[in-house]
Amino acid sequence: MIKVGEIRSAHGIQGWVKLYSYTDPRQNLFDYLPWSVFLRGKPIELTLDGWREQGSGIVVKFDQIKDRNQAEALLGAQIFITEEQMPKAKQGEYYTADLMGFEVINLDDEKLGVVCGFFDTAAHTILEVGEQIDSNPKHAIPWHDSVVTSIDTEHKRVSVDWPAEL
């Protein structure tokens, strides 16, 4: 399963919620219906009724959610799709989900750990590097051309211009 979004907050009084989309552009999230939605690790059945862009985000309405109280109960729900729902990456391209577990090596050939996640900031995407794929990150490295020097999908390795001590 690939995480493509999450519910961040309630919007209004009629059961709408604000979504954060991990797709680029963000509205591509709707190309991958149906979604599998999990709240605190448990699957929940939701049917999309409608959506729209709202400011810098997206708001959605689910058939089963009728008011703000029900919408607030969904906060933190994670939205996933199956790998089969994703289009195949083109030659020389990859999905960030495909990089999970890749070894991260700096220019001094020091192993910094493995890719254990990504998150977005206002400036750019951040690569999270930890000892294991499910560990707490010990490095937060900017995902930027000046820092990420190469990605070797054959050897499952990401090379970065980043010191080991940061």
Q: CATH number for the domain including 130? A: 2.30.30.240
- The single residue listed with the structure tokens 């963000």 is 26
Query: Model pTM greater than 0.85?
Result: no
Higher pLDDT, 70 or 2: 70
Pairing verdict, β 157-160 and 103-106: parallel
Q: Has residue 69 been placed in a domain?
A: yes
> Where is pLDDT greater, at 92 or 40?
40
pLDDT digits over 100-141, tens only? 899 999 999 999 999 988 887 878 889 999 998 777 778 899
Q: Give pLDDT tens digits for 33-70.
A: 999 999 999 999 999 999 999 988 899 999 999 999 99
Last residue of a domain, one of 44, 60, 84: 84
Structural tokens at position 108 = 């001094």
Residue 38, CA distances (Å) to 4, 11, 21 in order = 12, 20, 15
- Total domains present in the chain: 2
In a domain, 66, yes or no: yes
Please give the residue range of the domain that contains residue 156: 96-160
